[in-house]
């Protein structure tokens, strides 16, 4: 019988924090600037420059630590991690090794196999590197330091996961917690959340862990799942053929569906960490910690319970809406404005989800404001527009966050409630469709639907369908 | 000399420090480093059990900046001293295989 | 009196009295530099045009009443490891041979805010690594007292420039004695303030936990005035200390009555030159005569300071100097194959031997398997040394001792044996490890006419006590004088030939 193997997985998750400025200087963290336009002497490693810590970075890191049940380090420091690479302007990265800001936490994940705790070994703060662009023409690399110094936290898990499903559940859990804290938008594709997978295999029942590898460049859940499967197989093959797994860093190529070692002679992997003398130690008092704790938001589990009690919307809706902090905020604020939880939920669950899916967007990308959604709901409630028009307006709103009241007015989309005009339209429809009229009069009730449709069409969709129905019945 | 520095060590430290030493320099470096380490070994005479390593000499702590953007576009200044520049970026030997 | 012989405060008095214009003072310095610097080589960079322009501008602002302080219009020099906007800043290294910063060090800006005129950048040991200014990539600096001798280092250019009258005062930096020792060798006054007193922003780091900028001047009063100008809390430097007591000139009082001065016996043992010992003990006697309570005591741990210091400084330096990689600024080798070869060639060609030696040592003591045994051990010893000083300074207001075991050595004699050279720092490095302030001032000459330095070490933030004691001593000692006109005329032709020969030897190392 073939041997049974167990996969052991630990994750190193880098999360880009949602601060306005970099971790050690006053440069903007905004995306999309022309190369090196968000840089200064500090984040480009000019001689004589010194780092000063962004307080918000520390607060976010502590908040994430509290949300993941960590012990917050009361006396912390930064360390320098020394290695040469052009994206790293000082040729050392300011990070934390000896006294990371948080330690010993855990989060609960849920998969089909049930609930499980995943341990958090530590969370530390560090700076991001710049970007390298390959220039084919000159056959060189070009360096853009706009991302250099963007604040990151690295969340290092214990090797507690056993398969891709658990890994993805863990990542989803972290993403949810961190999004709820507002500490990051955690987008895998855009790199604001990046996961490196440490993986080893061992014979089922073995007490010792096998030799692990670290897999980098995983940009989607799909890539993570595929890389885990690929690496598991690669390691098992090595073991079965009597070879050894080498402890190394590998890069996943999702296009080819395989990984390769990133080793080179010049990569000594000896980072010579030591406490950074340029940064003062961090001391977190009880009061400060209590303040950060008090400022923690309502997390998803609590929110779900409250929604059920307060709004009485279906569980499925709650699941979807609270699955995105942005959507939950949007929901709550819109309900506050218009007082119609079910209607707000309907707009989110039906039209919003449909459009997100069609356009391949995430709930975080929703751009319309709660004010405008509330206005739209009021327009429908007040019968100023009918459902069909409302959907059209919503689609525009989804795209450009227009003010629906103004839009309806400008485009003249208000429901025609002038009975005289409607009556004339109905008369014309009756005159033009003798066959349907005949059918209706002969007892085919359904025929009225066609006539309503024709009338709505004649009114360019702006009639109140209820009213059209009543008039038709009256006049037939 | 108690500390014998091998060729491998000098080679290794050269990789870490990104220094390429000539044959002569290597020999000198081996001798220098060995002598320095012998000298530093003197610290071993002191009992430092239970002594907290002192990385920072003063009790200055919690030095922060507020999260406010203070820097504008300084690209021209930043690139002024670059040995190689293209399209607003620093030119480096290629890093991609 | 000739302008160049004046102290900074004497000059600024004349400027305020409108007896001397800033332009005249600046021109006097440019003339001095023109005349003397070919021999002494105190400067790496002097931009005459900019000096004249600054002089005009500063004069206007003095006339308008904007610059009213005691440094207004005073021409000063800055060590070449402090960034100066628009002015070449080399650290006396080939690797920064073309580096023109786009910002100025905070200390330099403070001087400029006080109305001082920056003449140029002074020569130094490459990246401040050395005790002789011979490791400069741009040639040696000569001691104005004897051009066959070194000026000390690493702030040798600054100290020599002050002694030679090529500036009225200068900034130096002190990581292990680099202000105090050259000041002692050149017969001028140098002060290393408490760590955190002067911003390090814009100071190109050597050992970040040890580096501190300070003044080098003709006398104690100038030193107090300069320190008062450059000391500031700086939000750009996380190790900067917010101090209220930076009115250092208020401490210039002739009074040491009741002051407790401790003289460590362990500073006067073997290895200390007899003439130096005698001069320093005489200085202690003079202070006793003036009313100080002077007594000997055992400081302990003295012999561990140098190994601890070199471990820590080299470790920090190996990391601080990683940024010099040929990508963002500075020197890039011409011929290389690929990225790592570019790094290695640029750095190997760009750094000098002493810098490479310390980078190698620093990289090693931090490397996997050695960190605990060397680096961490040194940090623990540092804690012990600090404790020993704190204890001593709880008993004494001041610790008094020599600056260096000998007077300035001859050019070319030091670099061959690094450990011997490092041993010369025995009395200075502990002050940096413990973050303390210390002042070095001349207390006599040896039989060869070379100046001897007296070191006073104070408790943290006790610069005023040091200045008061130093000022009192200076008054009691009487005029010390400048090299030219007092004793050996270092500008003579015979000396120059001898010096040039020694210089060639120095450069050949």
In a domain, C72, yes or no: yes
Token code pair at residue A80: 């320098």
- Other chains touching B, judged by 3 or more CB pairs under 8 Å: A, C
pLDDT at C486 over 60: no
Q: Is C496 on the interface with B (CB under 8 A)?
A: no
A240 plus A311 within the same structural domain: no
Contacts of C364 in chain B (CB under 8 A): 9, 13, 33, 37
Q: Retrieve residue A170's tokens.
A: 């863990």
Q: How many domains does chain C have?
A: 1
pLDDT at C319 over 80: yes
Please give the average per-residue pLDDT across C31-42, as a whole number: 97
State the pLDDT confidence band at A1, using cuts at 50, 70 and 90.
low
Residue C387 lies in a domain: no
What token pair was written down for C381? Answer: 């010893």
Q: Cβ distance C216 to C188 under 8 Å?
A: yes
**A391 assigned to some structural domain:** yes
Q: Chain B residues with CB inside 8 Å of C195's CB? A: 57-58
Residue indicated by tokens 């004897």: C146
Does some domain include residue C343? no
Helix (H) or strand (E) segment spanning residue B89: strand B89-93
Statement: residue C484 has pLDDT above 60? yes
What would the mean pLDDT of C169-181 be, rounded to a whole number? 98
Contact at CB, B70 and A21, closer than 8 angstroms = yes
User: Quick one: tokens of A97?
Assistant: 């090794």
Residues A49, C367: C-beta atoms closer than 8 Å: no
A124 and A31 share one domain: yes
Q: What token pair was written down for A229?
A: 């499967």
Q: Has residue C508 got a pLDDT over 50?
A: no
Q: Grade residue C494 by pLDDT with cuts at 50, 70 and 90.
A: very low
Whether residues A38 and A163 fall in one domain: yes
- Which listed residue (C154, C221, C414, C430) is catalytic? C154
Q: Distance, in angstroms, between A167 CA and closest chain B CA?
A: 30
Packing angle of the helix pair C353-366, B23-40 (nearest 10 deg): 60
Contact A129, A93 (CB under 8 A): yes
**What integer is the mean pLDDT of C474-479?**
97
Residue C63 belongs to domain spanning:
3-254+433-508
ipTM: 0.97
Strand pairing class (A282-283; C117-122): unpaired
How far apart CA C427 and CA C386 sit, in angstroms, is 14
The question of whether C464 is a catalytic residue gets the answer no
Number of domains observed in the structure of chain A? 3
Residues A52 and A183 in one domain: yes
Is residue A457 within a helix (H) or strand (E), and if so which, with residue range? helix A447-458
Name residues whose C-beta falls within 8 Å of residue C397's C-beta, 6 or more positions apart in sequence.
Answer: C259, C260, C261, C458, C459, C462, C465, C469
Distance CA A446, CA A426 (A): 17
CB atoms within 10 A of CB C298: 12
Is the domain of A136 the same as that of A229? Answer: yes
Do A186 and A305 reside in the same domain of the chain?
Answer: no
Could you give all domains of chain B from N- to C-terminal order, each with its CATH number? 7-45 (1.10.20)
Distance of residue A398 Cα from the nearest chain B Cα, in angstroms: 31
Q: Is residue C129 part of a domain?
A: yes
Q: Which of A255, A288, A321 is the last residue of a domain?
A: A288
What value does the CA radius of gyration of chain B take, rounded to a whole number of Å?
A: 23
For helices C305-320 and C377-395, give the axis angle rounded to 10 degrees. Answer: 120
Output the CA angle C42-C47-C53, nearest 5 degrees.
130
Does C101 map to a domain?
A: yes
Q: What is the pLDDT of residue C367?
A: 96
Residue A295 has pLDDT above 70, yes or no: yes
Residue in C closest to A142 by C-alpha:
C327
Residue C410 lies in a domain: no
Q: How many CA atoms lie within 13 A of A61 on its CB side?
A: 33
C154 a catalytic residue: yes
Please name every residue paired with A80 in a beta bridge, in sequence order, or none if there are none: A94, A274
Same structural domain, A279 and A330: no
Over residues A363-385, mean pLDDT: 90
Q: Distance between CA B20 and CA C356 in Å, rounded?
A: 10
Q: Which of A230, A254, A288 is the last residue of a domain?
A: A288
Interface of A with C (CB under 8 A): 41, 44-53, 80, 82, 84, 86, 89-92, 141, 143, 266, 270, 272-274, 277-280
Of residues A368 and C492, more confidently modeled: A368
Residues 49-68 of B with CB under 8 A from A: 55-56, 60-68
| pLDDT value at C283 more than 90 | yes
What is the rounded CA–CA span in Å between residue A443 and residue A405? 42
Q: How confident is the model at residue C270 (pLDDT cuts 50, 70, 90)?
A: confident
Reported as a single tens digit per residue, the pLDDT across A156-204 is 999 999 999 999 999 999 999 999 999 998 988 888 999 999 999 999 9
Q: Is residue A293 part of a domain?
A: no
Range of the domain at A346: 298-410
Beta bridge partner(s), residue A127: A151
Lowest mean pLDDT among A114-123, A444-453, C471-480: A444-453
pLDDT digits (tens, 9 = 90+) for A12-58: 999 999 999 999 999 999 998 999 999 999 999 999 999 999 999 99
pLDDT at C31: 97
Average pLDDT over residues C249-260: 98
User: Is residue A262 within 8 angstroms of chain B, CB to CB?
Assistant: no
Provide, as residue numbers in chain A, all residues whose Cβ is less than 8 Å from the Cβ of C323.
Answer: 45, 47, 89-91
Same domain, A36 and A82: yes
Interface residues from chain C to A (CB-CB < 8 Å): 82-83, 89, 91, 96, 99, 101-103, 105, 200-205, 207-209, 235-239, 315-316, 318-319, 322-325, 327-329, 339-340, 343, 363, 366-368, 371, 375
For A233-257, what is each residue's pLDDT tens digit? 999 999 999 999 999 999 999 999 9
Is A224 buried (19+), middle (13-18) or exposed (0-12) by CB count in 10 A? buried
CA distance A5 to A232: 9
Burial of A420 (0-12, 13-18, 19+ CB in 10 A): exposed
Residue C14 within any structural domain of the chain: yes
Can you list the positions of beta strands (E) in C149-211? Answer: 169-174, 189-192
CATH number of the structural domain spanning residue A425: 1.10.10.410
Residue C509 confidence (pLDDT) above 60: no
Helix (H, G, I), strand (E, B) or coil at A28: strand
Q: Are residues A341 and A459 in the same domain?
A: no
Q: What is the pLDDT of residue A350?
A: 93
Of chain B residues 36-95, which have a CB less than 8 A from chain C? 36-37, 39-46, 48, 51-58, 60, 63, 65, 74, 77-78, 80-84, 90, 92-95
Residues counted in chain A: 476
The verdict on a CB contact (< 8 Å) between A82 and C319 is yes
pLDDT at position B97 is 57
Give C109-153 as a DSSP string. Answer: HHHHHTT-EEEEEE--SGGG--SSS-S-TT-PPPBTTBTTB---S
Return phi, psi of residue A283, to 5°: -120, 120
Q: Is the CB of B15 less than 8 angstroms away from the CB of A265?
A: yes
Could you tell me which of B12, A246, A244, B55 has the C-alpha nearest to residue C369? B12
Q: What is the pLDDT of residue C66?
A: 96
Tokens for C418, please give them.
Answer: 């690094």
pLDDT of A265 reads 66
Domain annotation covers residue A217: yes
- At C74-123, the pLDDT tens digits run 999 999 999 999 999 999 999 999 999 999 999 999 999 999 999 999 99
DSSP state of A25: S
CA-based nearest residue to A394, from A358, A359, A350? A350
Do the strands C169-174 and C75-79 form a parallel or antiparallel pair, or are they unpaired? parallel
Instruction: Say if CB C368 and CB A270 are below 8 A apart.
Output: yes
| Cα separation, C85 vs C494, whole angstroms | 40
Flag whether pLDDT at A393 surpasses 80: yes
For B19, which of C209, C348, C433 is closest by C-beta distance?
C348
Torsion of CA C485, C488, C490, C493, to 10 degrees: 110
Task: Quote the Cα angle for A333-A337-A338, to 5°.
Answer: 120
pLDDT, tens digit, 9 for 90 and up, residues C372-402: 999 999 999 999 999 999 999 999 999 999 9
Pairing of strands A102-111, A140-144: unpaired
* Residue A281 and residue A197 share a domain: yes
Q: Domain for residue C428, yes or no?
A: no
Q: Are C471 and C287 in contact (CB under 8 A)?
A: no
Average pLDDT, chain C: 94
Q: Is the omega angle on the peptide bond into residue C154 within 30 degrees of 0, that is, cis?
A: yes
Provide φ and ψ at A116, rounded to 5°: -160, 145
- CATH assignment at residue C155: 3.90.1300.10
Average pLDDT, chain A: 92
Q: Which of C12, C21, C36, C79 is catalytic?
A: C79
Confidence of residue C282 (pLDDT cuts 50, 70, 90): very high
Q: Is the pLDDT of residue A80 over 70?
A: yes
From B77, B78, B95, residue closest to A132, measured CB to CB: B95
Q: Is the pLDDT of residue C503 over 90?
A: no
Please give the Cα distance from A271 to A83 (Å, whole number): 6
Q: What is the tens place of the pLDDT at every residue in C52-80?
A: 999 999 999 999 999 999 999 999 999 99
Query: What does the DSSP assignment read for A323-387?
Result: TSHHHHHHHHHHHHHH--HHHHHHIIIIIIHHHHHHHT--GGG----HHHHHHHHHHHHTTSS-H
What tokens appear for A84 in the block?
């040469």
Give the closest of A52, A91, A278 to C322, CB-based.
Answer: A91
Residue C387 contacts residue C430 (beta carbons within 8 Å): no
User: Catalytic annotation on C64?
Assistant: no
The DSSP secondary-structure symbol of B60 reads -
Question: Which one has a higher pLDDT value, C314 or A360?
Answer: C314
Query: Is pLDDT at C485 greater than 70 in this prediction?
Result: no
Q: How far is B63 from chain A (nearest CA, A)?
A: 6
Least confidently predicted of A219-223, A317-321, A414-418, C29-33: A414-418
For residues A305 and A274, state if they share a domain.
no
- Distance from C-alpha of A379 to C-alpha of A358, rounded to nearest angstrom: 26
CB atoms within 10 A of CB A83: 17
Of A47, A84, A278, which has the smallest distance from its Cβ to C208's Cβ?
Answer: A278
CA C21 vs CA A73, A386, C71, C180: distances in Å: 59, 86, 13, 32
Interface contacts A/B by beta carbons within 8 Å: 137
- Residues A142, A93 within the same domain: yes
pTM for the full model? 0.90
Count of helix runs (H) and strand runs (E) in chain C: 16, 11
* Smallest Cα distance from A274 to chain B, Å: 9
pLDDT band at C408 (very low <50, low <70, confident <90, very high): very high
């Amino acid at each position: 019988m073939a041997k049974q193997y167990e996969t052991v997985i630990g994750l190193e998750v880098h999360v880009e924090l949602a601060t306005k400025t970099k971790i050690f200087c006053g440069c903007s963290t905004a995306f999309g600037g022309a190369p090196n336009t968000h840089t200064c002497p500090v984040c480009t490693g000019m001689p004589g420059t010194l780092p000063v810590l962004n307080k918000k970075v520390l607060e976010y890191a502590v908040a994430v630590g509290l949300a993941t049940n960590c012990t917050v380090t009361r006396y912390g420091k930064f360390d320098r991690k020394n290695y040469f690479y052009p994206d790293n302007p000082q040729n050392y990265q300011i990070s934390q090794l000896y006294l990371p800001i948080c330690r010993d936490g855990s989060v609960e994940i849920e998969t089909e196999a049930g609930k499980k705790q995943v341990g958090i070994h530590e969370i530390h703060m560090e700076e991001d590197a710049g970007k390298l662009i390959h220039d084919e023409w000159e056959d060189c690399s070009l360096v853009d330091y706009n991302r250099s110094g963007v604040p990151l936290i690295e969340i290092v898990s214990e090797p507690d996961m056993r398969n891709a499903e658990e890994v993805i559940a863990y990542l989803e859990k972290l993403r949810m917690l961190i999004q709820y804290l507002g500490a990051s938008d955690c987008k895998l594709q855009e790199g604001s959340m990046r996961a490196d997978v440490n993986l080893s295999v061992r014979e089922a029942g073995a007490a010792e862990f096998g030799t692990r590898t670290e897999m980098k460049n995983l940009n989607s859940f799909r890539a993570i799942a595929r890389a885990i499967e690929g690496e598991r197989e690669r390691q098992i093959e090595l073991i079965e053929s009597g070879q050894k797994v080498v402890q190394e860093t590998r890069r996943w190529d999702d296009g080819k569906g395989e990984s390769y070692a990133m080793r080179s002679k010049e990569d000594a992997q000896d980072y010579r960490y030591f406490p950074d003398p340029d940064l003062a130690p961090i001391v977190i008092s009880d009061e400060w910690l209590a303040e950060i704790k008090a400022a923690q938001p309502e997390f998803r589990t609590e929110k779900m319970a409250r929604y059920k009690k307060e709004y009485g919307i279906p569980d499925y809706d709650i699941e979807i809406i609270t699955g995105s902090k942005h959507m939950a905020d949007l929901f709550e604020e819109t309900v506050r404005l218009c007082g119609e939880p079910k209607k707000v939920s309907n707009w989110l669950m039906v039209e919003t989800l449909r459009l997100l899916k069609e356009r391949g967007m995430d709930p975080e990308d929703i751009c319309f404001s709660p004010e405008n959604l509330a206005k739209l709901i009021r327009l429908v409630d007040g019968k100023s527009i009918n459902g069909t028009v409302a959907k059209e307006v919503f689609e525009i709103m989804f795209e450009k966050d227009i003010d629906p009241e103004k839009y309806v007015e400008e485009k003249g989309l208000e429901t025609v409630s002038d009975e005289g005009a409607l009556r004339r339209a109905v008369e014309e429809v009756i005159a033009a469709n003798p066959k349907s009229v005949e059918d209706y009069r002969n007892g085919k009730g359904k025929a009225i639907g066609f006539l309503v449709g024709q009338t709505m069409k004649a009114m360019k969709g702006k009639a109140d369908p209820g009213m059209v129905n009543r008039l038709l019945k009256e006049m037939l | 000399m108690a500390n014998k520095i091998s060729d491998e060590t000098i080679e290794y430290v050269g990789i870490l420090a990104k220094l390429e030493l000539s044959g002569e320099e290597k020999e000198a470096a081996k001798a220098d480093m060995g002598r320095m380490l012998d000298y530093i070994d003197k610290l071993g005479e002191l009992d430092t059990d239970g002594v907290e390593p002192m990385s920072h000499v003063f009790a200055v702590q919690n030095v922060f900046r507020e999260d406010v953007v203070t820097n504008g576009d300084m690209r021209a200044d930043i690139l002024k001293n670059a040995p190689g520049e293209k399209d607003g970026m620093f030119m480096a030997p290629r890093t991609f295989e | 009196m000739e302008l160049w012989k004046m102290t900074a405060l004497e000059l600024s008095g004349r400027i305020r009295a409108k007896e001397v214009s800033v332009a005249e003072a600046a021109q006097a310095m440019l003339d001095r530099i023109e005349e003397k610097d070919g021999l002494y080589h105190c400067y790496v960079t002097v931009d005459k045009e900019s000096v004249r322009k600054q002089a005009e501008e500063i004069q206007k602002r003095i006339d308008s009443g904007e610059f009213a302080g005691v440094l207004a219009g005073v021409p000063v020099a800055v060590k070449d490891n402090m960034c100066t906007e628009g002015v070449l800043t080399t650290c006396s290294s080939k690797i920064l041979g073309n580096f023109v910063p786009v910002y100025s060090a905070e200390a330099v800006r403070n001087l400029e805010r006080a109305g001082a005129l920056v003449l140029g950048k002074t020569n130094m040991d490459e990246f401040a690594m050395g005790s002789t200014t011979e490791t400069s990539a741009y040639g040696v600096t000569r001691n104005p007292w004897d051009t066959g001798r070194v000026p000390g280092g690493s702030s040798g250019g600054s100290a020599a420039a002050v002694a030679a009258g090529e500036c009225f005062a200068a900034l130096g930096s002190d990581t292990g004695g680099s202000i105090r020792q050259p000041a002692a060798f050149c017969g001028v006054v140098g002060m290393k303030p408490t760590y955190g007193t002067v911003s390090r922003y814009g100071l190109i780091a050597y050992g970040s936990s040890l580096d501190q900028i300070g003044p080098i001047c003709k006398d104690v009063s100038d030193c107090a005035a300069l320190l008062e100008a450059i000391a500031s809390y700086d939000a750009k430097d996380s190790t900067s200390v917010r101090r209220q007591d930076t009115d250092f000139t208020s401490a210039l009082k002739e009074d040491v009555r009741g002051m407790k001065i401790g003289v460590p016996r362990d500073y006067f043992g073997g290895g200390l030159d007899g003439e130096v010992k005698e001069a320093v003990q005489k200085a202690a006697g003079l202070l006793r005569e003036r009313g100080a309570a002077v007594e000997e005591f055992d400081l302990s741990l003295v012999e561990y300071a140098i190994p601890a210091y070199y471990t820590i400084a080299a470790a920090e330096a190996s990391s601080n100097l990683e940024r010099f990689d040929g990508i963002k600024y500075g020197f890039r080798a011409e011929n290389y194959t690929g990225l790592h070869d570019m790094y290695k060639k640029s750095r190997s060609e760009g750094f000098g031997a002493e810098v490479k030696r310390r980078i190698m040592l620093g990289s090693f003591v931090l490397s996997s398997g050695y960190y605990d045994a060397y680096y961490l051990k040194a940090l623990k010893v540092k804690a012990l040394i600090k404790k020993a000083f704190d204890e001593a300074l709880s008993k004494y207001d001041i610790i008094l001792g020599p600056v260096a075991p000998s007077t300035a050595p001859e050019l070319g004699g030091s670099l061959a044996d690094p450990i011997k050279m490092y041993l010369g720092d025995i009395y200075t490095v502990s002050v940096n490890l413990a973050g303390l302030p210390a002042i070095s001032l001349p207390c006599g000459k040896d039989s060869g006419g070379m100046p001897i330095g007296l070191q006073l070490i104070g408790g943290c933030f006790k610069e005023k006590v040091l200045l008061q004691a130093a000022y009192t001593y200076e008054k009691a000692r009487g005029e010390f004088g400048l090299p030219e006109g007092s004793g050996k005329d270092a500008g003579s032709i015979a000396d120059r030939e001898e010096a040039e020969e020694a210089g060639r030897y120095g450069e050949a190392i």
